[in-house]
Amino acid sequence: MPARSKPISVVTGAAGFLGSHLTDRLLAERHRVIAIDNLITGNPANIGHLAGNENYRFIRHNVSDFIFLPEERIDYVFHFASPASPIDYLELPIPTLKVGALGTHNALGLAKAKMASFILASTSETYGDPLVHPQKEDYWGNVNPIGPRGVYDEAKRFAEAMTMAYHRYHNIDTKIVRIFNTYGPRMRLRDGRVVPAFIGQALAGRPLTVFGDGSQTRSFCYVSDLIDGIFKLAMSDFHEPVNLGNPREMTIKQFADEIIRITGTESTIEYKPLPEDDPKVRQPDISRAKKVLGWEPGVSFEEGIIRTIQYFRESLKRD
Ligand code: UDP
């Protein structure tokens, strides 16, 4: 295919964990990718392998400021820029609010100007500390707007509202993916999320820091499964939000025990206070994704975790 006739995709947050995996998938699908990231939480190491790729261009830019691209035609805008771990958005509350609000507005404006499809990376955090379990897309959520997580949750809820407004009033082809806890290579070892935290602690022989009594639950999806769902959603003509995640639910204590077992570490468990507004349960209902996209996750927990541990072992050697 000549380079000109390939689909052109813009990915914001392209040096992040999900943005970089999404970029790899789009390039494998023969898209050209214009990658944008201001690198405040993104990592250049995630995109180093793309240097010199003729179908890839990287632009260092904060998408909360106006996005100018000279291309006449763009086919897809994937808006994945945002601090995404609780520690990151506690440290960067205002950039988090801005990228969810102003960044989404700019990315939608770009999609409108270029007549591109728009895909919003939303989150299970739109459900907050849910009172309905498992979470279905028609649940409106239980979010504390003024709590420490509110900067992320409310920005993403605003982003969804803005996306639907552009769909309804400007006829933009928009998609909303609500992403549940996802893990895999390229997460930052020190981003504070439970998967890198426990694996890093286990590999260093330090105690695993379980917050609260560890009875809160999460459901972990391996990154390749998630990216597959996102690609299918982007190619669909479905405009309502779609949950993507792995319904296999476990408590954080069970997760710590699994990491100790699989790594074979001597580490113990140390209990720490539960952060404010930490959701007590989380599990996606993925019946919509199954029906609309024919998607469901295929990578087992054991397989995904082993690959992730291997990645962190290697990156610790390089540190
Ligand atoms: N957590 C923990 N120890 C850690 C980091 C996180 O027990 O060192 C818990 C956290 O309180 C939450 C769950 O693990 O209940 C998942 O946290 P994460 O930061 O990965 O993301 P969240 O799902 O809360 O957005």
Is 266 part of any domain?
Answer: no
Cis peptide before 134 (omega within 30 of 0): yes
pLDDT of residue 316: 87
Please check whether residue 142 lies inside any domain of the structure: yes
- Substitution candidate for ligand 1 out of 190, 218, 255, 267 with most atoms within 8 A of CB: 218
pLDDT at 98 over 70: yes
The answer to whether 127 is a known catalytic residue is no
Query: Mean pLDDT score of the chain, rounded to an integer?
Result: 96
Q: Alpha-carbon distance 159 to 268, whole Å?
A: 41
Q: Which of 76, 127, 152, 183 is catalytic?
A: 152
- The CA 90 to ligand 1 mean position distance, Å, reads 14
On the question of pLDDT at 2 being above 80, the answer is: no
Ligand 1 site-directed mutation target among 193, 259, 305, most atoms within 8 Å of CB: 193
* Euclidean distance between CA atoms 158 and 181, whole angstroms: 20
Distance CA 220, CA 13 (A): 21
| CA 193 / ligand 1 centre spacing (Å) | 6
Do 175 and 239 form a contact (C-beta atoms < 8 A)? yes
Give the Cβ contact number of residue 37 at 10 Å: 27
* Per-residue pLDDT at 318: 79
Domain count, the chain: 1
Q: Is 315 left (phi over 0), alpha (psi -120 to 50) or beta?
A: alpha
With respect to residue 177, please indicate whether it lies within any of the assigned structural domains: yes
Residue 98 lies in a domain: yes
Residue nearest to atom 13 of ligand 1 (CA): 194
Per-residue tokens: 60: 């260092």
The whole-number pLDDT of residue 3 equals: 52
Question: Tell me: the pLDDT tens digits for 24-56?
Answer: 999 999 999 999 999 999 999 999 999 999 999
Residue 105 lies in a domain: yes
Q: Is residue 149 within 8 Å of residue 279, measured between CB atoms?
A: no
**Could you tell me if residue 113 is inside a domain?**
yes
CATH at residue 14: 3.40.50.720
The closest residue, in CA terms, to atom 19 on ligand 1 is 193
pLDDT band (50, 70, 90) for residue 272: very high
Mean pLDDT of 68-82: 97
Question: In the 8-state DSSP scheme, what is residue 276?
Answer: T
Compute, in angstroms, the gap from residue 290 CA to the centroid of ligand 1.
27
Q: Is 10 in the pocket of ligand 1 (CB under 6 A)?
A: no
Banded pLDDT at 270 (limits 50, 70, 90): very high
The pLDDT assigned to 137 comes to 98
pLDDT band, very low/low/confident/very high, at 317 (cuts 50, 70, 90):
confident
Protein residue whose Cα sits closest to atom 12 of ligand 1: 278
**Each residue's pLDDT tens digit, 120-145:** 999 999 999 999 999 999 999 999 99
With a cut of 60, say whether residue 190 has pLDDT above it.
Answer: yes
Torsion sign across C-alpha atoms 235, 179, 239, 101: negative
* Residue 26 within any structural domain of the chain: yes
* Predicted pLDDT at 235: 98
Angle at the Cα of 48 (from 46 to 52), degrees rounded to 5? Answer: 140
Q: Is residue 10 part of a domain?
A: yes
Q: How far is the CA of 29 from the centre of ligand 1 (A)?
A: 34
Is residue 209 in contact with ligand 1, taking CB distance under 6 Å? yes
CA proximity to 293, closest of 229, 239, 247, 241:
229
Q: Residue 100: which domain range? A: 3-183+221-247+284-299
pLDDT value at residue 107 = 98
